[in-house]
Amino acid sequence: MNRILMTLTVLVAGLSMMAPDINAQDSSRSSRRQKALEDWHKDMAEFRARSQENREIRELTDSIAGVQAAAAVSNKDFVLEADQVTFRNGSTVFVNSNTTFVSVKGNRAVVQISPSNFSSGPNGVGGVTVQGMISGYRQRVDKKGRTTLSFNVMGIGINAQVEVYLTPGTNRASATVYPNFNSNTVWIEGNIVPYDNSDVFEGSSL
């Protein structure tokens, strides 16, 4: 009987000694979880701050580019550098902005559509180039600040009508080109930059 009591006493003493260790482990795990949670909240706060800062920088950059584009259009001294072209059948291709563009310099305009990087085309750079004098130049700004520009390009035996739509607050724009030598109307999208800031390559015109 005494031996049994002694054994129980040893077990109780052992459990009593283990209890603080278990409590300490639980406390340590809780502390680690709390620290991980605090670190996560800190990282998210920093991420949101950086995102807000980057968004403000993008908005400021877009605004400056938009002011430059609007001034260039008003001065008839701009290039719409296209990054994509949509054809009448609905297909859209991404293009090189150096070879697909609409440019206006004073009374001279160039419309160049070069959707192919694999064939030279009539202009030598994968498409068609029409250059000539401008007629019927009209610029309109609606109440929401959207600018619409339209004009004709009078080439040697070839004409094209162009309508340009400038997105307010940015230099993003789209244009519709109606060639008179066929019914293959095309739509292009890209960025408007001042003429002297562009490095487009003009191919051989028709």
State how far the alpha carbon of 63 is from the alpha carbons of 68, 86, 169, in Å: 9, 27, 5
pLDDT tens-digit readout, 71-115 = 899 899 999 999 999 988 889 999 999 999 999 999 999 998 888
State how far the alpha carbon of 166 is from the alpha carbons of 72, 90, 158, 186, 189, in Å: 12, 22, 26, 17, 10
Would you say residue 1 has pLDDT above 50?
Answer: yes
User: What is the reported pLDDT for 193?
Assistant: 92
- Record the tokens describing residue 99, joined without a space: 């070879």
Would you say residue 5 has pLDDT above 50?
Answer: no
- C-alpha–C-alpha distance, residues 113 and 115, integer Å: 6
**Domain extents in the chain:** 1-206
pLDDT > 90: percent of the chain = 33
* The CATH number of the domain covering residues in 1-206: 2.40.128.410
Which residue from 143, 141, 186, 142 is spatially nearest to 161, judged by alpha carbons? 186
Q: Which of 21-35, 96-110, 151-165, 173-187 is the most confident on average?
A: 96-110
182 by DSSP, 3-state: which?
Answer: coil
User: What is the reported pLDDT for 55?
Assistant: 67
